[in-house]
Chains A and B, each alone.
Chain A
Amino acid sequence: MNDILSMLLTGVPWTLGVTLCAFATGVVLGFALCALRMARSRGLAALGAAIVLTLRSIPPIVWLFFIFFGIGGGYLSLSPFVAAVLGLGLITAAQMAEVYRGAFAAIPEGQYEAAHVLNLSPPQRFFDVVLPQLTRISIPTAATYAIGLLKDSAVASTLGVADISFQAYQVSQQTFQGLGVYSAAALVYLVLSVPVALASRWVSASLQRRISQ
Protein backbone atom coordinates (compact mmCIF):
# COMPACT_ATOMS: atom_id res chain seq x y z
CA MET A 1 0.00 0.00 0.00
CA ASN A 2 2.91 2.34 0.75
CA ASP A 3 4.33 1.75 -2.72
CA ILE A 4 0.98 2.56 -4.28
CA LEU A 5 0.68 5.80 -2.34
CA SER A 6 4.22 6.94 -3.12
CA MET A 7 3.63 6.26 -6.84
CA LEU A 8 0.39 8.28 -6.72
CA LEU A 9 2.13 11.14 -4.91
CA THR A 10 4.62 11.53 -7.78
CA GLY A 11 1.61 12.79 -9.75
CA VAL A 12 0.82 15.56 -7.26
CA PRO A 13 3.25 18.19 -8.71
CA TRP A 14 1.76 17.65 -12.19
CA THR A 15 -1.81 17.94 -10.94
CA LEU A 16 -0.94 21.10 -9.00
CA GLY A 17 1.08 22.48 -11.93
CA VAL A 18 -1.74 22.03 -14.44
CA THR A 19 -4.30 23.45 -11.98
CA LEU A 20 -2.26 26.51 -10.96
CA CYS A 21 -1.11 27.41 -14.49
CA ALA A 22 -4.60 26.95 -15.95
CA PHE A 23 -6.13 28.97 -13.12
CA ALA A 24 -3.60 31.80 -13.55
CA THR A 25 -4.25 31.82 -17.31
CA GLY A 26 -7.99 31.95 -16.68
CA VAL A 27 -7.79 34.71 -14.06
CA VAL A 28 -5.92 36.98 -16.49
CA LEU A 29 -7.72 36.06 -19.74
CA GLY A 30 -11.04 36.19 -17.86
CA PHE A 31 -10.50 39.92 -17.35
CA ALA A 32 -10.10 40.51 -21.07
CA LEU A 33 -13.15 38.36 -21.82
CA CYS A 34 -15.21 40.17 -19.18
CA ALA A 35 -14.17 43.54 -20.65
CA LEU A 36 -15.28 42.32 -24.07
CA ARG A 37 -18.64 41.11 -22.67
CA MET A 38 -19.25 44.44 -20.94
CA ALA A 39 -18.14 46.54 -23.93
CA ARG A 40 -20.39 49.49 -24.84
CA SER A 41 -20.45 48.38 -28.47
CA ARG A 42 -23.25 45.85 -28.94
CA GLY A 43 -21.28 43.89 -31.52
CA LEU A 44 -18.27 43.42 -29.22
CA ALA A 45 -20.48 42.49 -26.26
CA ALA A 46 -22.29 39.88 -28.37
CA LEU A 47 -18.93 38.49 -29.52
CA GLY A 48 -17.82 38.23 -25.88
CA ALA A 49 -21.02 36.45 -24.90
CA ALA A 50 -20.66 34.05 -27.85
CA ILE A 51 -17.07 33.19 -26.89
CA VAL A 52 -18.06 32.53 -23.26
CA LEU A 53 -21.02 30.37 -24.32
CA THR A 54 -18.91 28.36 -26.80
CA LEU A 55 -16.14 27.72 -24.26
CA ARG A 56 -18.70 26.52 -21.71
CA SER A 57 -20.75 24.38 -24.11
CA ILE A 58 -18.01 22.01 -25.24
CA PRO A 59 -16.50 19.47 -22.80
CA PRO A 60 -12.90 20.04 -21.58
CA ILE A 61 -11.69 16.77 -23.13
CA VAL A 62 -12.76 17.97 -26.61
CA TRP A 63 -10.89 21.27 -26.13
CA LEU A 64 -7.80 19.42 -24.94
CA PHE A 65 -7.84 17.00 -27.89
CA PHE A 66 -8.54 19.87 -30.28
CA ILE A 67 -5.52 21.80 -29.00
CA PHE A 68 -3.18 18.83 -28.62
CA PHE A 69 -4.04 16.73 -31.69
CA GLY A 70 -5.76 19.34 -33.87
CA ILE A 71 -3.51 22.36 -33.47
CA GLY A 72 -0.52 20.59 -31.94
CA GLY A 73 -0.47 17.75 -34.46
CA GLY A 74 -0.06 19.69 -37.66
CA TYR A 75 0.66 23.34 -37.09
CA LEU A 76 2.59 23.73 -33.86
CA SER A 77 4.38 21.34 -31.61
CA LEU A 78 2.80 21.47 -28.14
CA SER A 79 3.72 19.41 -25.09
CA PRO A 80 0.80 17.63 -23.34
CA PHE A 81 1.30 19.91 -20.33
CA VAL A 82 1.07 23.12 -22.37
CA ALA A 83 -1.95 21.82 -24.30
CA ALA A 84 -3.73 20.90 -21.04
CA VAL A 85 -2.96 24.29 -19.46
CA LEU A 86 -4.18 26.13 -22.59
CA GLY A 87 -7.41 24.14 -22.84
CA LEU A 88 -8.32 24.30 -19.17
CA GLY A 89 -7.11 27.92 -19.00
CA LEU A 90 -9.51 28.98 -21.78
CA ILE A 91 -12.46 27.26 -20.07
CA THR A 92 -11.45 28.88 -16.76
CA ALA A 93 -11.31 32.28 -18.50
CA ALA A 94 -14.96 31.88 -19.57
CA GLN A 95 -15.99 30.97 -16.02
CA MET A 96 -13.95 33.80 -14.47
CA ALA A 97 -15.42 36.33 -16.93
CA GLU A 98 -18.85 35.45 -15.53
CA VAL A 99 -17.55 35.68 -11.95
CA TYR A 100 -16.11 39.16 -12.59
CA ARG A 101 -19.30 40.28 -14.31
CA GLY A 102 -21.33 39.24 -11.27
CA ALA A 103 -18.85 41.01 -8.98
CA PHE A 104 -19.03 44.25 -11.00
CA ALA A 105 -22.79 44.19 -10.64
CA ALA A 106 -22.43 43.68 -6.88
CA ILE A 107 -20.36 46.86 -6.35
CA PRO A 108 -22.81 49.55 -5.19
CA GLU A 109 -23.48 52.36 -7.67
CA GLY A 110 -22.54 54.92 -4.98
CA GLN A 111 -18.92 53.74 -5.06
CA TYR A 112 -18.53 54.88 -8.68
CA GLU A 113 -20.32 58.13 -7.94
CA ALA A 114 -18.16 58.78 -4.87
CA ALA A 115 -14.97 58.07 -6.83
CA HIS A 116 -16.16 60.48 -9.50
CA VAL A 117 -17.07 63.19 -7.00
CA LEU A 118 -13.66 62.85 -5.32
CA ASN A 119 -12.20 63.65 -8.75
CA LEU A 120 -10.08 60.46 -8.85
CA SER A 121 -8.41 59.79 -12.17
CA PRO A 122 -9.72 56.78 -14.16
CA PRO A 123 -6.71 54.57 -13.18
CA GLN A 124 -7.17 55.56 -9.51
CA ARG A 125 -10.88 54.82 -9.75
CA PHE A 126 -10.13 51.37 -11.10
CA PHE A 127 -7.15 50.36 -8.95
CA ASP A 128 -8.06 52.01 -5.66
CA VAL A 129 -11.85 51.77 -5.63
CA VAL A 130 -13.15 49.09 -8.02
CA LEU A 131 -10.39 46.45 -8.05
CA PRO A 132 -10.13 45.86 -4.26
CA GLN A 133 -13.89 45.34 -4.00
CA LEU A 134 -13.98 43.23 -7.16
CA THR A 135 -11.28 40.94 -5.74
CA ARG A 136 -13.00 40.57 -2.39
CA ILE A 137 -16.36 39.72 -3.99
CA SER A 138 -14.82 37.31 -6.52
CA ILE A 139 -12.62 35.26 -4.18
CA PRO A 140 -15.17 32.84 -2.67
CA THR A 141 -16.65 31.91 -6.09
CA ALA A 142 -13.19 31.77 -7.67
CA ALA A 143 -11.97 29.45 -4.90
CA THR A 144 -14.94 27.10 -5.36
CA TYR A 145 -14.13 27.05 -9.05
CA ALA A 146 -10.42 26.41 -8.35
CA ILE A 147 -11.32 23.33 -6.29
CA GLY A 148 -13.48 22.15 -9.19
CA LEU A 149 -10.58 22.79 -11.56
CA LEU A 150 -8.24 20.70 -9.39
CA LYS A 151 -10.56 17.74 -10.05
CA ASP A 152 -11.21 18.64 -13.70
CA SER A 153 -7.44 18.75 -14.26
CA ALA A 154 -7.63 14.94 -14.21
CA VAL A 155 -8.54 15.10 -17.93
CA ALA A 156 -4.92 16.15 -18.58
CA SER A 157 -4.04 12.49 -17.97
CA THR A 158 -5.76 11.62 -21.27
CA LEU A 159 -3.03 13.57 -23.09
CA GLY A 160 -0.33 11.75 -21.09
CA VAL A 161 0.43 14.37 -18.42
CA ALA A 162 1.83 12.29 -15.54
CA ASP A 163 -0.66 13.57 -12.94
CA ILE A 164 -2.42 11.68 -10.13
CA SER A 165 -5.02 10.09 -12.44
CA PHE A 166 -2.33 9.02 -14.89
CA GLN A 167 -0.35 7.37 -12.07
CA ALA A 168 -3.51 5.73 -10.73
CA TYR A 169 -4.15 4.14 -14.12
CA GLN A 170 -0.54 2.94 -14.44
CA VAL A 171 -0.41 1.51 -10.92
CA SER A 172 -3.81 -0.18 -11.18
CA GLN A 173 -2.72 -1.88 -14.41
CA GLN A 174 0.52 -3.09 -12.79
CA THR A 175 -0.78 -4.25 -9.42
CA PHE A 176 -4.35 -5.40 -10.25
CA GLN A 177 -5.46 -3.64 -7.07
CA GLY A 178 -7.69 -1.12 -8.82
CA LEU A 179 -10.08 -0.68 -5.92
CA GLY A 180 -7.38 0.35 -3.44
CA VAL A 181 -5.49 2.44 -6.00
CA TYR A 182 -8.49 4.49 -7.11
CA SER A 183 -9.75 4.94 -3.52
CA ALA A 184 -6.31 6.26 -2.56
CA ALA A 185 -6.28 8.56 -5.61
CA ALA A 186 -9.70 9.96 -4.67
CA LEU A 187 -8.41 10.65 -1.15
CA VAL A 188 -5.30 12.43 -2.50
CA TYR A 189 -7.56 14.77 -4.52
CA LEU A 190 -9.77 15.35 -1.45
CA VAL A 191 -6.76 16.17 0.73
CA LEU A 192 -5.35 18.57 -1.90
CA SER A 193 -8.59 20.54 -2.05
CA VAL A 194 -8.60 21.25 1.71
CA PRO A 195 -5.72 23.80 1.66
CA VAL A 196 -7.37 25.67 -1.25
CA ALA A 197 -10.57 26.03 0.78
CA LEU A 198 -8.64 27.18 3.87
CA ALA A 199 -6.49 29.61 1.88
CA SER A 200 -9.54 31.19 0.27
CA ARG A 201 -11.18 31.66 3.67
CA TRP A 202 -7.97 33.22 5.05
CA VAL A 203 -7.46 35.55 2.07
CA SER A 204 -11.05 36.80 2.09
CA ALA A 205 -10.95 37.34 5.85
CA SER A 206 -7.73 39.34 5.66
CA LEU A 207 -9.01 41.40 2.70
CA GLN A 208 -12.17 42.09 4.67
CA ARG A 209 -10.05 43.38 7.57
CA ARG A 210 -8.00 45.63 5.28
CA ILE A 211 -11.13 47.09 3.72
CA SER A 212 -12.84 47.80 7.01
CA GLN A 213 -9.82 49.62 8.44
Chain B
Amino acid sequence: MNEILSQWAEWFPELWKGFVLSLQVTAISLVFGVFLGLLLALGVSAKGRAVRYPALVIVELGRGAPALILLQYFYFGLPSVNLTLSSFWAAVLALAYCTAAYTSEIIRGGLEAVARGQHEAAEVIGLDRVDALRYVILPQALRVALPSLLGFSIMMFQASSLCFTIALPEIVSRASAIGSSTFQYMPVLVLAGLMYAAVCAPASLGVAALERRLAPGQHATP
Protein backbone atom coordinates (compact mmCIF):
# COMPACT_ATOMS: atom_id res chain seq x y z
CA MET B 1 0.00 0.00 0.00
CA ASN B 2 2.77 2.40 1.01
CA GLU B 3 4.58 1.55 -2.18
CA ILE B 4 1.54 2.47 -4.27
CA LEU B 5 1.07 5.74 -2.37
CA SER B 6 4.67 6.77 -2.95
CA GLN B 7 4.31 5.92 -6.64
CA TRP B 8 1.15 8.01 -6.80
CA ALA B 9 2.93 10.91 -5.14
CA GLU B 10 5.65 10.63 -7.75
CA TRP B 11 3.22 10.51 -10.72
CA PHE B 12 0.66 13.00 -9.46
CA PRO B 13 2.38 16.23 -10.67
CA GLU B 14 2.64 14.77 -14.19
CA LEU B 15 -1.01 13.67 -14.26
CA TRP B 16 -2.07 16.99 -12.74
CA LYS B 17 -0.69 18.84 -15.79
CA GLY B 18 -2.82 16.58 -17.96
CA PHE B 19 -5.82 17.14 -15.70
CA VAL B 20 -5.52 20.93 -16.09
CA LEU B 21 -5.23 20.53 -19.87
CA SER B 22 -8.34 18.30 -19.95
CA LEU B 23 -10.26 20.91 -17.98
CA GLN B 24 -9.07 23.71 -20.32
CA VAL B 25 -10.07 21.83 -23.49
CA THR B 26 -13.45 20.97 -21.97
CA ALA B 27 -14.13 24.51 -20.75
CA ILE B 28 -13.21 26.22 -24.04
CA SER B 29 -15.21 23.68 -26.08
CA LEU B 30 -18.24 24.14 -23.83
CA VAL B 31 -18.17 27.94 -24.12
CA PHE B 32 -18.00 27.88 -27.93
CA GLY B 33 -20.21 24.80 -28.21
CA VAL B 34 -23.13 25.97 -26.08
CA PHE B 35 -23.21 29.33 -27.88
CA LEU B 36 -23.23 27.55 -31.25
CA GLY B 37 -25.81 25.12 -29.86
CA LEU B 38 -28.07 28.05 -29.04
CA LEU B 39 -27.76 29.36 -32.61
CA LEU B 40 -28.46 25.88 -34.01
CA ALA B 41 -31.48 25.47 -31.71
CA LEU B 42 -32.90 28.74 -33.03
CA GLY B 43 -32.04 27.62 -36.58
CA VAL B 44 -33.77 24.25 -36.21
CA SER B 45 -36.89 25.96 -34.77
CA ALA B 46 -36.89 28.60 -37.54
CA LYS B 47 -39.86 28.74 -39.88
CA GLY B 48 -37.85 29.31 -43.07
CA ARG B 49 -36.61 26.11 -44.72
CA ALA B 50 -33.41 27.76 -45.97
CA VAL B 51 -32.33 28.07 -42.32
CA ARG B 52 -34.01 25.01 -40.85
CA TYR B 53 -32.69 22.30 -43.18
CA PRO B 54 -28.98 23.23 -43.06
CA ALA B 55 -29.24 23.55 -39.27
CA LEU B 56 -30.86 20.10 -39.07
CA VAL B 57 -28.10 18.53 -41.21
CA ILE B 58 -25.37 20.10 -39.05
CA VAL B 59 -27.06 18.85 -35.86
CA GLU B 60 -27.74 15.32 -37.10
CA LEU B 61 -24.20 14.88 -38.45
CA GLY B 62 -22.74 16.05 -35.15
CA ARG B 63 -24.96 13.69 -33.14
CA GLY B 64 -24.62 10.77 -35.52
CA ALA B 65 -20.83 10.61 -35.73
CA PRO B 66 -18.79 9.23 -32.81
CA ALA B 67 -16.80 11.90 -30.94
CA LEU B 68 -13.65 9.90 -31.70
CA ILE B 69 -14.29 10.20 -35.45
CA LEU B 70 -14.91 13.96 -35.11
CA LEU B 71 -11.61 14.40 -33.26
CA GLN B 72 -9.65 12.46 -35.87
CA TYR B 73 -11.51 14.25 -38.68
CA PHE B 74 -10.18 17.59 -37.47
CA TYR B 75 -6.71 16.30 -36.60
CA PHE B 76 -5.93 13.76 -39.35
CA GLY B 77 -8.54 14.85 -41.91
CA LEU B 78 -8.00 18.58 -42.34
CA PRO B 79 -4.27 18.29 -43.22
CA SER B 80 -5.36 16.58 -46.47
CA VAL B 81 -6.76 19.97 -47.55
CA ASN B 82 -3.61 21.71 -46.26
CA LEU B 83 -5.13 22.89 -43.01
CA THR B 84 -3.04 21.61 -40.13
CA LEU B 85 -4.27 22.23 -36.60
CA SER B 86 -2.43 21.63 -33.35
CA SER B 87 -3.91 18.78 -31.34
CA PHE B 88 -5.23 21.35 -28.85
CA TRP B 89 -7.24 23.31 -31.42
CA ALA B 90 -8.36 20.18 -33.25
CA ALA B 91 -9.66 18.91 -29.91
CA VAL B 92 -11.42 22.19 -29.13
CA LEU B 93 -13.05 22.36 -32.59
CA ALA B 94 -14.22 18.73 -32.54
CA LEU B 95 -15.55 18.82 -28.98
CA ALA B 96 -17.19 22.23 -29.58
CA TYR B 97 -18.97 20.85 -32.66
CA CYS B 98 -20.08 17.78 -30.70
CA THR B 99 -21.30 20.05 -27.86
CA ALA B 100 -23.15 22.32 -30.29
CA ALA B 101 -24.99 19.40 -31.90
CA TYR B 102 -26.09 17.84 -28.60
CA THR B 103 -26.84 21.02 -26.65
CA SER B 104 -28.90 22.44 -29.54
CA GLU B 105 -31.39 19.62 -28.91
CA ILE B 106 -31.33 20.25 -25.14
CA ILE B 107 -31.87 24.00 -25.64
CA ARG B 108 -34.61 23.35 -28.21
CA GLY B 109 -36.39 21.20 -25.62
CA GLY B 110 -36.12 24.13 -23.20
CA LEU B 111 -37.47 26.60 -25.79
CA GLU B 112 -40.45 24.32 -26.47
CA ALA B 113 -41.18 24.06 -22.75
CA VAL B 114 -41.82 27.83 -22.51
CA ALA B 115 -45.59 28.36 -22.45
CA ARG B 116 -47.20 29.79 -25.60
CA GLY B 117 -48.71 32.65 -23.57
CA GLN B 118 -45.22 33.96 -22.77
CA HIS B 119 -44.59 34.64 -26.48
CA GLU B 120 -47.96 36.35 -26.81
CA ALA B 121 -47.46 38.40 -23.66
CA ALA B 122 -44.02 39.56 -24.86
CA GLU B 123 -45.55 40.63 -28.16
CA VAL B 124 -48.44 42.44 -26.45
CA ILE B 125 -46.16 44.54 -24.26
CA GLY B 126 -44.39 45.66 -27.43
CA LEU B 127 -41.08 43.79 -27.29
CA ASP B 128 -39.52 43.08 -30.68
CA ARG B 129 -38.49 39.50 -31.48
CA VAL B 130 -34.90 39.84 -30.29
CA ASP B 131 -35.85 41.48 -26.99
CA ALA B 132 -38.65 38.96 -26.42
CA LEU B 133 -36.13 36.16 -26.87
CA ARG B 134 -33.51 37.80 -24.69
CA TYR B 135 -35.60 38.98 -21.75
CA VAL B 136 -38.59 36.62 -21.72
CA ILE B 137 -38.09 33.34 -23.56
CA LEU B 138 -34.39 32.47 -23.14
CA PRO B 139 -34.16 32.96 -19.36
CA GLN B 140 -37.04 30.51 -18.91
CA ALA B 141 -35.81 28.07 -21.56
CA LEU B 142 -32.27 27.96 -20.15
CA ARG B 143 -33.62 27.38 -16.67
CA VAL B 144 -35.43 24.28 -17.93
CA ALA B 145 -32.35 23.16 -19.89
CA LEU B 146 -29.82 23.85 -17.11
CA PRO B 147 -29.68 20.40 -15.44
CA SER B 148 -29.30 18.63 -18.81
CA LEU B 149 -26.65 21.13 -19.94
CA LEU B 150 -24.66 20.54 -16.75
CA GLY B 151 -25.06 16.78 -17.12
CA PHE B 152 -23.78 17.05 -20.66
CA SER B 153 -20.78 19.10 -19.49
CA ILE B 154 -19.76 16.21 -17.23
CA MET B 155 -20.00 13.88 -20.23
CA MET B 156 -17.79 16.25 -22.23
CA PHE B 157 -15.13 16.28 -19.53
CA GLN B 158 -15.08 12.49 -19.80
CA ALA B 159 -15.09 12.66 -23.61
CA SER B 160 -11.97 14.85 -23.50
CA SER B 161 -10.14 11.61 -22.61
CA LEU B 162 -10.57 10.63 -26.29
CA CYS B 163 -8.04 13.36 -27.16
CA PHE B 164 -5.50 10.70 -26.22
CA THR B 165 -5.94 9.43 -29.80
CA ILE B 166 -4.82 12.75 -31.31
CA ALA B 167 -1.70 13.01 -29.14
CA LEU B 168 -2.95 15.71 -26.78
CA PRO B 169 -0.98 15.29 -23.52
CA GLU B 170 -4.08 15.07 -21.29
CA ILE B 171 -4.62 12.71 -18.33
CA VAL B 172 -4.99 9.43 -20.24
CA SER B 173 -2.01 10.16 -22.55
CA ARG B 174 0.22 10.85 -19.56
CA ALA B 175 -1.08 7.85 -17.61
CA SER B 176 -0.51 5.58 -20.57
CA ALA B 177 3.01 6.98 -21.11
CA ILE B 178 3.85 6.35 -17.44
CA GLY B 179 2.31 2.88 -17.73
CA SER B 180 4.37 1.93 -20.77
CA SER B 181 7.64 3.18 -19.29
CA THR B 182 7.20 1.64 -15.82
CA PHE B 183 4.95 -1.36 -16.70
CA GLN B 184 2.83 -0.25 -13.73
CA TYR B 185 -0.39 0.18 -15.71
CA MET B 186 -2.76 -0.82 -12.94
CA PRO B 187 -1.81 1.74 -10.26
CA VAL B 188 -1.37 4.66 -12.67
CA LEU B 189 -4.73 4.00 -14.37
CA VAL B 190 -6.42 3.77 -10.96
CA LEU B 191 -4.97 7.18 -10.09
CA ALA B 192 -6.17 8.62 -13.43
CA GLY B 193 -9.61 7.11 -12.87
CA LEU B 194 -9.78 8.60 -9.37
CA MET B 195 -8.95 12.05 -10.76
CA TYR B 196 -11.88 11.81 -13.19
CA ALA B 197 -14.18 10.43 -10.49
CA ALA B 198 -13.16 13.22 -8.07
CA VAL B 199 -14.71 15.72 -10.50
CA CYS B 200 -17.51 13.71 -12.10
CA ALA B 201 -19.02 11.91 -9.08
CA PRO B 202 -19.71 15.01 -6.92
CA ALA B 203 -20.74 16.94 -10.04
CA SER B 204 -23.34 14.35 -11.08
CA LEU B 205 -24.71 14.16 -7.53
CA GLY B 206 -24.98 17.97 -7.58
CA VAL B 207 -26.78 17.94 -10.93
CA ALA B 208 -29.22 15.30 -9.66
CA ALA B 209 -29.97 17.48 -6.62
CA LEU B 210 -30.46 20.55 -8.83
CA GLU B 211 -32.77 18.56 -11.08
CA ARG B 212 -34.95 17.63 -8.11
CA ARG B 213 -35.06 21.26 -6.97
CA LEU B 214 -36.00 22.60 -10.39
CA ALA B 215 -38.53 19.80 -10.99
CA PRO B 216 -41.78 21.08 -12.52
CA GLY B 217 -44.48 21.92 -10.01
CA GLN B 218 -42.07 23.13 -7.35
CA HIS B 219 -41.61 26.56 -8.86
CA ALA B 220 -44.75 26.97 -10.94
CA THR B 221 -44.80 30.27 -12.81
CA PRO B 222 -47.97 32.16 -11.92
Residues on A facing B (Cβ under 8 Å): 53-54, 56-63, 65-66, 69-71, 73-74, 151-152, 154-155, 157-158, 165, 168-169, 172-173, 176-183, 185-186, 189-190, 193
Contact = CB atoms under 8 A, between A and B. Distances in A.
B5 interface: no
A53 B205 contact: yes
Nearest to B185: A69
Contacts of A181: 77
Nearest to A191: B64
Contacts of B159: 59
A90 to B, nearest CB: 13
Contacts of A152: 66
A58 B172 contact: no
5 contacts: A62-B189, A169-B72, A172-B77, A178-B72, A181-B77
Interface in B173-191: 175-176, 179, 183, 185-186, 189-190
Contact of A66 (B61, B161, B193): B193
Interface in B28-87: 60-61, 64-70, 72-73, 76-81
B63 to A, nearest CB: 9
Interface string B159-179: 101101100000010011001
A58 B193 contact: yes
B186 A178 contact: no
Nearest to A55: B197
B76 A178 contact: yes
A193 B64 contact: yes
Contacts of B172: 59, 61-62, 65
A69 B73 contact: no
Interface in B99-121: none
Given A69-B185, A178-B77, A178-B78, A189 B65 contact: yes
Nearest to B73: A182
A54 B158 CA distance: 13
Majority SS of interface residues in chain B?
helix
B77 A66 contact: no
A61 B197 contact: no
A172 B76 contact: yes
Nearest to B76: A178
Contacts of B24: none
B200 interface: yes
Interface string B179-215: 1000101100110110011001100110000000000
Given A66-B186, A73-B185, A182-B76, A56 B66 contact: no
A183 B70 CA distance: 9
Contacts of A168: 69, 72
Contact of A59 (B69, B81, B158, B204): B158
Nearest to A175: B80
A57 B197 contact: yes
A176 B77 CA distance: 8
A193 B63 CA distance: 11
B197 A54 contact: yes
A192 to B, nearest CB: 10
Contact of A65 (B61, B64, B176, B205): B176
B69 A182 contact: yes
B15 to A, nearest CB: 12
Nearest to B202: A57
Contacts of A169: 72, 76
Nearest to B68: A154
B57 to A, nearest CB: 11
A152 B162 CA distance: 10
